[in-house]
Homo-oligomer: A and B are copies of this chain.
Amino acid sequence: MKRSVFYISDRTGITAEMLGQALLPQFDGFEFEEATLPYIDNEEAAREAVNRINAAAVADGTPPLVFDTMVRAELRAIIRESNSIVMDMFQMFVPHLEEALGAQCQYRVGKAHSMDNLGQYESRIDAVNFALNNDDGAITKYYEQAELILVGVSRSGKTPTSLYLAMQFGIRVANYPITEEDLESPSLPKPLRPFRDKLFGLTINPDRLQQIRSERRANSRYASLEQCRMEVKEVEGIYQRENIRYLDTTSRSVEEIATKILAAVGIKRHH
């Protein structure tokens, strides 16, 4: 059954989307048609949103769901006039929070995903630049500055994980690919040896690795199952001999890989 879902926000809409995407997959038998209406920060925009919601209600023959994170009560009141079922984040949580804190909610627009905390924001962008500049082992001279160095065979998930850790949590992550040449020696590649404590290994199922590599270079030795099996076996051998913590990335999302690594190594997320 089709149900329209609207994410409405006076800013980016990212928090509203997160909420809906955490809750809606728990309900079976629906085809949720999602639309995000960001930057709804004045009455006219709110009334236009109401028109869109009401049009969807007519088209669907049933009221849409609305996840609303707008700060201003008068705009939320306009949205509630629509033919919809509104999940209002502030209305749900604020009474509870005000009681717990013994303080009033300030209802200021633009606190989520803003640059309010400039130092913290800049450290996230710095971390993204660090990840890009220290990607794929081309440069190893800044490993001293890294909080974490991801290692693993080619296409085991190092780059997306590094970027996610930087963007979401502001963590400075380098990554180093363990190549066939590195695997010829039984010990750690030389550039990594001084930084043993910062290393975290990624591994992956060889069949999945073959599939990923084949998309890049079909029918190459690089993408052959035999090569993938050999590299994965050897790299896991290094992790075990050298006591490097590691994680299998097969069927894990980048969010899961990133948060599992932080939990394993005990690095605090930089909020």
B255 adjacent to A14 (CB under 8 Å): yes
**Identical subunits present:** 2
CB distance from A264 to the nearest CB of B (A): 10
For residue A123, give the distance in angstroms from its CB to the closest CB of chain B: 13
Tell whether A242 is near chain B: CB-to-CB under 8 Å. Answer: no
A245 at the interface (CB under 8 A from B): no
Interface pair A263/B39, CB less than 8 Å apart? yes
Give CA–CA (A3, B102) in the complex, Å. 12
Measured between alpha carbons, how far is A36 from B153 in the docked complex, in Å?
30
Chain B residues with CB under 8 Å of A221's CB are none
CB distance from A271 to the nearest CB of B (A): 5
Asked, given contacts A13-B259, A15-B22, A22-B69, whether A115 binds B36 with beta carbons under 8 Å apart, the answer is: no
Interface residues of A in 100-138 (CB under 8 A from B): 100-101, 103-108, 111-116, 121, 124-125, 128-129, 132
Among B12, B28, B106, point to the contact of A103 (Cβ < 8 A).
B28
A254 nearest CB neighbor, chain B only: B125
Are the CB atoms of B168 and A163 closer together than 8 Å?
no
Q: Which of A12, A34, A35, A251 is most buried by chain B, counting CB atoms within 10 A of its CB? A: A12
A-B contact pairs, 11 of them (CB 8 A): A11-B259, A13-B259, A18-B18, A22-B111, A25-B112, A27-B97, A27-B106, A87-B93, A92-B92, A113-B253, A121-B253
